[in-house]
A and B are shown apart, each in its own frame.
Chain A
Amino acid sequence: MDQVDPVDKLLRRQIKLFEHAHRTPIELKGFGLAMKQEGIDKSKLYCNPDFLLLPLRECPHLSKLRPEQLSVLTAYYFARAYSEIATSESVALRYNMEASAAVFPLYSDNYMVLFHETAEEFDHIITFRNVCQALLGRGDVIGGDFFPHLKAVPAMLERYRGKLCANGFGAMYLLMRYILNLALKQLEGFMTAGLDEKVASPLALQIVAGHAEDEARHLTTSLELGLGLFRRATPRSRELISGAMRITMYSMIDKRFSGDAAATWNFETGLGVLQRALQHPEFADFPLRAEELRGLWASEGIAIPASAEFERSRRWIAGQLHRLAESMELALTPQGEAFERYLACARGTSSSSEDTARRA
């Protein structure tokens, strides 16, 4: 019986999904441009305030925020999240085409899968640039300099260029893209979860939903095509990729499965967004600056609560990492508390009570 190559099978499905998705226009640019015209709609929320990593109910000052102030705060958070997502996509733009050209004939159907995804990344970047202009007043917050941690991926790829066979280079890039996709999907998946549609900015909801749809497809391409090319790579390339992925996964596990739940979510981001928001005219009468608030939380023992949503998201990411390790036959050596927590999440035996909220 004829066996269909798993890579060909995946690509055939991705082409069909792309065609289906684009039969009705799903470009996001229009939403970004509409938001640019509208600016911050202070009667609406841009993300779920529970997502903000700030003690909004516990802090005596933040618990008194007016709806308009909360709107500005969520708008800034929304823009901050999407400027980071767009920065990561700017990495994808370049390497999508390089990886595709390395392994597929030019303009073949297979080549075009990554080309389509590149075109979608451009659409997203334009959209998010307009979002940043609308909400933060500047569109130049997209790019490596604003998020230096995202420079690690290109640096790693460059280090391995020439040391890997063509399939290996494609696999390394796509598996790294998968890890980035996981982090971004975790960020995006939370933002509007549980947000009442009556108080939510319709444009924000449309952007999140539209982008999530594209990214779902990209996530699948990253994982399945990455794994397919990994299996086709030479033994030496596979060894190099396994080593690099093992390091990347350990570092992700250490960060995402720390006992300090809020540290996992980058507490400094929440504080940074608050700091910016406090400079908005809507906060002119706010009595304290961000650093003073932080001092207050520390002295009063005010913690950022870890939510059930957080635990849910952590279980999801553990499942994905576990699947990746199994598919690559990567033996991860158990080490430390974070690793134990990751395993418990991946096996579905974790309990949310073990999360501790972070003391400011």
Chain B
Amino acid sequence: MSSERGGREIELQVGDEVLKVRSGERLIDICEHHQTCIMFSCRAASCGTCAIVVEQGMENLSPVEGLEAIVVEEVSEGRPNVRLACQVRILGSASIRPLT
């Protein structure tokens, strides 16, 4: 995670917690560092364990790429604003919570 630090400081709400993080960081690294409520397993857009709902700030997340779209389609069951924490970079303030 250290190599990715250096962006501007932003606020990220994960569940009920508000974290101060650096823009550009991968969400899974942030969650791991802060030991938050987001679970993860494969770290590679293959399992869907880390699925999150973005309540605010979807526009502040890196775009969907690669395998993420497939897994989101399977795990979201039609719910909107679902992303995978292992694929997302936080580029500005946002509020997220685990999908389940």
Tell me the A residues contacting B by CB distance below 8 Å.
9, 12-13, 16-17, 20-21, 189, 194, 212-213, 216-217, 219-220, 223-224, 312, 315-316, 319-320, 323, 348
**Cα distance A23–B99 in the bound complex, in angstroms:** 29
Known: A212-B44, A312-B32. Is A20-B67 also a contact (CB below 8 A)?
yes
A216 touches which of B2, B43, B74 (Cβ 8 Å): B43
B19 within 8 A of A: no
A9 touches which of B40, B42, B74 (Cβ 8 Å): B74
The answer to whether A17 and B46 touch across the interface, beta carbons within 8 angstroms, is: yes
Q: How many residues of B contact A (CB 8 A)?
A: 19
The answer to whether B43 and A13 touch across the interface, beta carbons within 8 angstroms, is: no
Mask for B37-51, Cβ within 8 A of A = 1, else 0? 001111111111000
Interface residue SS majority, chain B? loop
The answer to whether A13 and B71 touch across the interface, beta carbons within 8 angstroms, is: yes
**Cα distance A223–B46 in the bound complex, in angstroms:** 12
| A194: B residues at CB distance < 8 A | 2-3
* Interchain pairs with CB closer than 8 A, number: 54
Q: Which 10 A-B pairs have the closest CB atoms?
A: A216-B44, A216-B42, A348-B35, A220-B47, A216-B46, A13-B74, A217-B46, A16-B70, A220-B46, A219-B42
| B43: A residues at CB distance < 8 A | 189, 216
Residue among A194, A216, A312 facing the most chain B CB atoms (10 A cut-off): A216
B70 touches which of A20, A220, A312 (Cβ 8 Å): A20
- Give B39's nearest chain A residue, CB to CB: A319
Tell me the B residues contacting A by CB distance below 8 Å.
2-3, 32, 35, 39-48, 66-67, 70-71, 74
The answer to whether A13 and B70 touch across the interface, beta carbons within 8 angstroms, is: yes
Known: A20-B67, A315-B35. Is A213-B74 also a contact (CB below 8 A)?
no
- Give A181's nearest chain B residue, CB to CB: B42
The answer to whether B39 and A220 touch across the interface, beta carbons within 8 angstroms, is: no
CB distance from B38 to the nearest CB of A (A): 11
The answer to whether A17 and B70 touch across the interface, beta carbons within 8 angstroms, is: yes
**Cα distance A220–B48 in the bound complex, in angstroms:** 9
The answer to whether B42 and A17 touch across the interface, beta carbons within 8 angstroms, is: no
| B41: A residues at CB distance < 8 A | 219-220, 223, 319-320, 323
The answer to whether B67 and A17 touch across the interface, beta carbons within 8 angstroms, is: yes
The answer to whether B74 and A220 touch across the interface, beta carbons within 8 angstroms, is: no
CB distance from A229 to the nearest CB of B (A): 17
**Cα distance A190–B35 in the bound complex, in angstroms:** 19
CB distance from A225 to the nearest CB of B (A): 12
**Cα distance A12–B43 in the bound complex, in angstroms:** 20
| A316: B residues at CB distance < 8 A | 32, 40
CB distance from B1 to the nearest CB of A (A): 9
**Cα distance A20–B66 in the bound complex, in angstroms:** 8
CB distance from A308 to the nearest CB of B (A): 10
Residue among B2, B42, B48 facing the most chain A CB atoms (10 A cut-off): B42
CB distance from A213 to the nearest CB of B (A): 6
- Give A9's nearest chain B residue, CB to CB: B74
| A12: B residues at CB distance < 8 A | 74
* A–B Cβ pairs within 8 angstroms, 28 of them: A12-B74, A13-B48, A13-B71, A16-B74, A17-B46, A17-B67, A21-B67, A194-B3, A213-B44, A216-B43, A216-B45, A216-B46, A216-B47, A217-B44, A219-B42, A219-B46, A220-B41, A220-B42, A220-B46, A220-B47, A223-B47, A224-B47, A315-B35, A316-B40, A319-B39, A319-B41, A323-B39, A348-B35
| B39: A residues at CB distance < 8 A | 319, 323
